[in-house]
Chains A and B, each alone.
Chain A
Amino acid sequence: MPMRVPVSAWLAACVLALSACSAPGGVRDAVILADDPAPRLSDYGLFSDVSAREPSEGVVPYDLVNALFSDHAAKHRAVYVPKGKTAAYQETGVMDFPVGSVLIKTFAFAPDMREPAKDERYVETRLLIRKDDGWVAYPYVWNAEGTEAVYSPVGDKQVIKTISPDGEALTINYAVPNRNQCKECHSLGDDFVPIGPTARNLNHVGPQGVAQLADWEARGILTGLPADAPAAPSIKSDAPIEDRARAWLDINCAHCHRAGGGASNSGLFLAWNETNPTGWGVHKRPTAAGRGSGDNLFVIEPGHPDESILLHRMESVEPGVAMPELGRSLIDPVGIALVRDWIASMPPIEP
């Protein structure tokens, strides 16, 4: 349990050291690049208000065309690139952000996720910071009042009551990951890497109402943007079902299910650019699925979603069966519908 400081003592501390309680000077590059994580999110000065609704100068909100499902949490992302530096455009991987950059992601719930902006409460804010020798992840957990988020390397468990986008009343056993769990998804070989901000995921009109990549270039935080940058299909678009299903798998699974990722030994590779159908599961036998196989023989049995291990594990919330292993305690009805329709659309393989 974090130590609870009486409000009066906190106020007194603020009076004594005003600068520590707000961020008058904007983003603090020295705090970002310090050896140790700052104890509080506000120490970085990334936002100008205590509730972290107002980004400081140089902090740019963005979003991804498709997002990892996290128990219906809303996610608010922003990027900070130090003044005078730029990220280098990458055709396939994550943009090459310079040292001192911060990727900020806040997870939030409203009492009713059909109106996600109404009475929204922040639960956690994760910072990915590009240090001299690579990326690090620092999780911060918000207090109930939404006035401060404190560094929480061991994660947290919270019970969250909300109503799903489909109108279902939910009680979510929400897990804030610990620092090791951050690594389970963000590892690539021996490196710790961001997942989301690739050209394909960023190349659309973002939350600011402008084309994100062009905006980043215009702000001077991105260089090398080509005229024909690729874009992933939105899972909500009318793109072919295969493209949408594989776009969902890409953002929900491929951080582990790729060469060098946490699930590399499975040989099941779910990135959008995998070219071998056996690699993405078509008539691929399970490797280490155990009871996760659900008595099915193949990861994908074309034409038969209910005989496919892939869908079985998406439809489970049981540890040892459920995939992804981390980051959700509920099933994602949207992803399940997509993958179900995709597998059903495949011509069956005659025995």
Chain B
Amino acid sequence: MRSILAAVSVLALAAACGPTEPAKPAALVPSATAYADLQKLLIEAKPGDTIEIGEGRFDFTDGLSLTVDGVTIKGAGQDKTFISFKGQTGAGEGLLITSDNVTVTGFTMEDPKGDGIKSKGADNITYKDLKVIWTGGPLATNGAYGVYPVESKNVLIDGVTVSGASDAGIYVGQSENIIVRNSRAEFNVAGIEIENSKFADVHDNIATRNAGGILVFDLPDLPVMGGHSTRIYNNQIVQNDTPNFAPPGNIVASVPTGTGVLLMANRNVHVFENTFDKNQTAHVMVISYSNEFKDPNYNPLPRDFVISGNTYGEGGNAPAGRLAPLAEALGGTLPAIVWDGVTSYGGKTEDVRIAIREKPEVGFINLGLGTTPPDLTKANPSTTRPADAQIEEPAAVVLAHDKPKADAEGS
């Protein structure tokens, strides 16, 4: 009875304040009804609303979702607001966003059963200062992706940490105009992956302790193909040494443990001014898609790639994966940069243009495999760099919703 009286007096007080100044709703606090309360706020949100999640630990058993445009979901900080899905019994992700102009920021999500935060068809999205982590470390039973924007335009990922994803920590797929920066990916199978996408800048990130640091792929049999125009620069891509723990069947299960940057198929990809160190298979690997495919619209070759001005520490000292036997034949190690040398598929040969603009002492090998699917017994290795080519670098990606902080506060 006392609680009812208290509630009544709260209502009376609220009413006494009058209708002119609606009180800003308080941040959500942990409680038995926190999940339902938060999901209700997400359902009933209006464009422009900020939904605040307060400090503390929230244990949710079902996934959250947002379908309203222009909403900000804001925690008290990634070291203050923890949302755990350890006991999740429903939904394929922790948070699903399908609306435009959304910002998610300021919390740590733990142990989603499937993907962490997925945004699909969600244009102008911002993922900022948040974490998605699987607390048990790298396990095949962890969810696939940490943050997972797909089929979206104008994607900003800034200050995000993902740890433990059994596929890619930070994954952007079938999207365009993408920035991934100031982020940290560790103990994932793939740290950061840009797949079947165009116009992406991946810079000032740290990719470490993954099986593979940063991946740029183009894959067949998907609604959006023909990925191109990605720049990977100023990243720290070091000590990617976690044994690949991806469930077999997934494309990333084929990423050799200890790969710094893996570029597969795709067009116009530029890798420059990154720091590579302690990647045991190779620092940079450029390969064609090597599985059979029937998709007539798919090109499995990497074309128009530039590798330039990077810093390379030790690496290639213990190559893993499919190329290991080949490396064995080459003396047990691989140089900093490896290209499979595939230039033809389905009877067609292309001028693929792979430009290596590094100091002379930076190691390079062209495996000379010629055609895909490749026959590894037909390797014809060469350390001669391909002839340099004029390959225009894509312009910097600019996102209208990516305002410098001072401007945003001033407006």
A154-B36, A184-B96, A264-B151 known; A294+B247 contact, CB < 8 A: yes
Asked if B92 is at the interface (CB within 8 A of a chain A CB), the reply is yes
By the criterion CB–CB under 8 Å, are A290 and B167 in contact?
yes
Stretch at the interface among B218-226, B303-311, B367-375, B395-403: B218-226
| Distance from B337 Cβ to chain A, minimum over Cβ atoms (Å) | 27
Contact for B247 among A180, A291, A325, CB less than 8 A: A291
- How distant is the Cα of A202 from the Cα of B88 in the complex, in angstroms? 37
- How distant is the Cα of A183 from the Cα of B171 in the complex, in angstroms? 24
Stretch at the interface among B20-28, B113-121, B378-386: B113-121
Q: Which residues of B contact A292 (CB under 8 A)?
A: 114, 144
Asked if A214 is at the interface (CB within 8 A of a chain B CB), the reply is no
By the criterion CB–CB under 8 Å, are A295 and B247 in contact?
yes
Contact for B221 among A180, A184, A284, CB less than 8 A: A284
Q: Which residues of A contact B250 (CB under 8 A)?
A: 286, 289-290, 293
Nearest CB in chain A to that of B39: its residue: A154
Against B, the Cβ 8 Å flags (1 = close, 0 = not) of A1-21 are: 100000000000000000000
- How distant is the Cα of A262 from the Cα of B112 in the complex, in angstroms? 19
By the criterion CB–CB under 8 Å, are A184 and B65 in contact?
yes
| Distance from B210 Cβ to chain A, minimum over Cβ atoms (Å) | 15
Nearest CB in chain B to that of A279: its residue: B221
8 A Cβ contacts from B218-259 to A: 219, 221-224, 247-251
Q: Which residues of A contact B150 (CB under 8 A)?
A: 265, 288
Asked if B98 is at the interface (CB within 8 A of a chain A CB), the reply is yes
By the criterion CB–CB under 8 Å, are B221 and A286 in contact?
no
- How distant is the Cα of A166 from the Cα of B88 in the complex, in angstroms? 29
- How distant is the Cα of A53 from the Cα of B174 in the complex, in angstroms? 48
Q: Which residues of A contact B113 (CB under 8 A)?
A: 318-320
Against B, the Cβ 8 Å flags (1 = close, 0 = not) of A249-286 are: 00000000001001011110000000000110000111
Asked if B288 is at the interface (CB within 8 A of a chain A CB), the reply is no
| Distance from B34 Cβ to chain A, minimum over Cβ atoms (Å) | 12
- How distant is the Cα of A155 from the Cα of B171 in the complex, in angstroms? 30
Contact for A288 among B42, B43, B167, B223, CB less than 8 A: B167
By the criterion CB–CB under 8 Å, are B90 and A319 in contact?
yes
Asked if B103 is at the interface (CB within 8 A of a chain A CB), the reply is no
Asked if A297 is at the interface (CB within 8 A of a chain B CB), the reply is yes
Q: Which 8 A-B pairs have the closest CB atoms?
A: A290-B144, A320-B114, A293-B249, A325-B92, A180-B65, A320-B113, A319-B113, A267-B222
